[in-house]
Every structure is written in C-alpha cells, then in structure tokens.
Amino acid sequence: MKEIRKEISYYLILSLLVIITTLISSCKENNTSETLKNHFTEDQIQDFNKINNFFISQALNNNKSNYKKELQLLIDELINNDIIALIKKIDFKKQKELYTLISKSSFNELWVFCKSFRKKRIESESFISICPNHELNNFKNYLKELSKTNSFAEVCLKSMEDSGDYHIARFSNYLFQNINSIDLNNFDNQFIIAVYFLSLNDNEQRNEKWSEKNKNE
C-alpha cells in the first residue's frame, strides 16, 4: 500500500512539474512575425512585446483576450473626449519607466528625441518631443515590407514618408474608420498601434525643455 502511495505521489509531482514548466515556458514566449525577424533582433522583439503589453495594460484595461472590444472603447472615448481620454489612461511616469526596461537599442529603433515648439509658449522656447529615428530607418523599412500585404501598415508608411513623423491624424482616422477590417489578433498591427499611441501620449505629456545635449541621449 505504501509503495502504491509513493508511486501516485511520484506521478503527481511529475505532472505538477510538467505543468509548471509549461506555464513558465509560455510566459517566456514572445509574439513575433517573419517581417519583424527580418528587421530586428530577438532581444529587440522581446522589448517590443513589453511595449505592446504595456499599452494593453494601460490603455486597454489589461484585457488582451478582448483586444478589439477594448480598442473600440478607447476609440469611442477619444472621439468623445479627444486626447484627454488617452492621457487619463496611460500613466506617463510608468511609460518613462517602461523606457528603462527596454534596451537603448530597442528604443532607438523606434524613437529619437527631437526639438518642437509649443504654440502656447513664447516662440523662443523649444521642448523635447519623440520622433521616428530616420537615421536607423529600420521601423520604416519594416513598415515598407509589411505594407506589401497589409493596408494598415501601408497607410502608416505613406503618412510617415509624407510628414517625416508618426502622423497621428492619418493613423487615427484610418484606424477609427477601418477597425473592423484590421486583423487585431495580428501582432504586427498591435505593435504599430502601441507605438503610435505611446508616441502621442509622450508628446502630449512630456514637458521638458530642449537642450543640445538631448541630441546625443
């Protein structure tokens, strides 16, 4: 009888170990795509998952399984309350903490600090904004390859080429009008959405004066 109990205990422990190992493994898995792999390293893609997960946790009520529903709710709030709806959802202090959790390489693939002027300020004052990094251009090249089969990426690419920036107006107009035709289970699309909305939030909430040293940060 003792031997039977020992055998049951052994198999129970073994089963639990298998379950725990599977859970740990699944937690470490990162969403990716062949297009991402063509332009970025594994470590960078891991960081891009952190960026996407942060956006979902802040702006979409941490409801990854109902991504489309939560995104539609966010869009409705933006239509009714403008940018204030996004500012209320995304804690900018936590967003800046996110930047410290990803590598400088990953940050630089997406953003660079640039100079901007605020209409509410006197003309001689300039402030820090974040813009696409046109020196590296990998994100733009990623959009270019993706746009061959993805109309959402094509719109984002065209607006970036025309404006030189993450053109929020074109991005949001297309997203708002075509949410039902965009595959929101696709990680590429989720990643683009996260980058654009976090760029918008940063530029709306950052209130730091520009100095020449910012060029090298």
Q: What is the pLDDT of residues 50-74, one digit of tens each?
A: 999 999 999 999 999 999 999 999 9
- 53: which 2 tokens? 């997960």
Half-sphere exposure of 178 (CA within 13 A, CB side): 15
Helix (H, G, I), strand (E, B) or coil at 117: strand
- Same structural domain for residues 22 and 117? no
Secondary structure, 3-state, 170-216: HHHHHHHHHCCCCCCCCHHHHHHHHHHHHHHHHHHHCCCECCHHHHH
* 38 and 122 part of one domain: yes
Domain count along the chain: 2
pLDDT for the residue numbered 119 = 59
> Are 159 and 144 a contacting pair, CB within 8 Å?
no
Assign 1 a pLDDT band (cuts: 50, 70, 90): low
120 and 16 part of one domain: no
**Tell me, what amino acid is at 17?**
L
The confidence score (pLDDT) of residue 16 equals 46
pLDDT confidence band for 28 (50 / 70 / 90): very low
Q: Do 14 and 66 belong together in one domain?
A: no
Q: Is the pLDDT of residue 45 over 70?
A: yes
**11 and 114, same domain (yes or no):** no
Residues 5 and 103 placed together within one structural domain of the fold: no
Q: pLDDT-based confidence at 215, cuts 50/70/90? A: low
Please state the length of the chain: 217
C-alpha closest to that of 204 among 107, 132, 127, 134: 127
Q: 203 and 137 share a domain?
A: yes
What are the residues whose beta carbons fall under 8 Å from the beta carbon of 37, sequence distance 6 or more? 45
* 55, 25: one domain: no
* Residues 5 and 69 occupy one common structural domain: no
User: Which is nearest to 45 in space by CA: 131, 113, 139, 135?
Assistant: 139
pLDDT over 50 (residue 22): no
CA distance 66 to 139: 27
Is residue 106 within 8 A of residue 41, CB to CB? The reply is no
pLDDT digits (tens, 9 = 90+) for 182-194: 999 999 999 999 9
Cα separation, 160 vs 167, whole angstroms: 6
Does the pLDDT value for residue 83 go beyond 50? yes
Tell whether the model's pLDDT for residue 82 goes beyond 80: yes
Among 20-24, 26-30, 152-156, 186-190, whose mean pLDDT is lowest?
20-24
136-186 pLDDT, tens digit per residue, is 889 999 999 999 999 999 999 998 999 888 888 889 889 999 999 999 999
pLDDT surpasses 80 at 21: no
Distance CA 164, CA 141 (A): 14
Say whether both 25 and 38 belong to one domain. no
- Residue 160's domain comprises 33-216
In whole angstroms, give the CA distance from residue 196 to residue 48: 13
Same domain, 110 and 174: yes
**Residue 122, pLDDT above cutoff 70:** no
Q: Which residue has the higher pLDDT, 119 or 148?
A: 148
Q: What's this model's pTM, rounded to 2 decimal places?
A: 0.82
70 and 128 part of one domain: yes
Q: What is the pLDDT of residue 23?
A: 38
Q: What single-letter DSSP state applies at residue 112?
A: E
